[in-house]
Amino acid sequence: MLKSYPPVTPAPGVTRQVLSEAPEMMVVAFTFEAGAEGAPHSHPHVQATFVESGRFRFTVGGDSFEVGAGDSFVIPGDVEHGCRCFEPGRLIDTFAPRRDDFL
């Protein structure tokens, strides 16, 4: 069954929208304005991030790196991570299992 989820604004310059979900997995789009940040945080879910567009600096477990359109990486569960957007863009994140706090 296809469900529609409204976008929300979790931080200034950031929009989050659940694209699809099941108990085992969730796909979420994050749209960032230049200068917006994803504050450092952690969660028990494994996260795979695909950079659809834009340019970002991520810090994952104390290591920092820049990513752009077409890049992808995995963040293990319970590892602190965050990002800063340099060029407006969109990230597609997949979480396993589903992040019920986003519903």
- List, for residues 41-88, the tens digit of each pLDDT value: 999 999 999 999 999 999 999 999 999 999 999 999 999 999 999 999
Tell me the percentage of the chain whose pLDDT exceeds 90.
97
pLDDT for 1: 63
Q: In CATH terms, is domain 8-102 a member of 1.20.140.10?
A: no
pTM of the model: 0.96
Residue ranges covered by each domain of the chain: 8-102
Average pLDDT over residues 92-98: 98
pLDDT for 54: 98
Residue 90: pLDDT band (50, 70, 90) is: very high
Give me the DSSP letters along 26-94: EEEEEEE-TT-EEEEE--SSEEEEEEEEEEEEEEETTEEEEEETT-EEEE-TT--EEEEEEEEEEEEEE
The dihedral through the CA atoms of 63, 47, 68, 83 has a sign that is negative
pLDDT for 40: 98
**Among candidates 29, 68, 55, 26, which has minimal Cα distance to 43?**
26
Cα separation, 33 vs 87, whole angstroms: 7
Asked if pLDDT for residue 12 goes beyond 90, the answer is: yes
3-state secondary structure of 100: helix
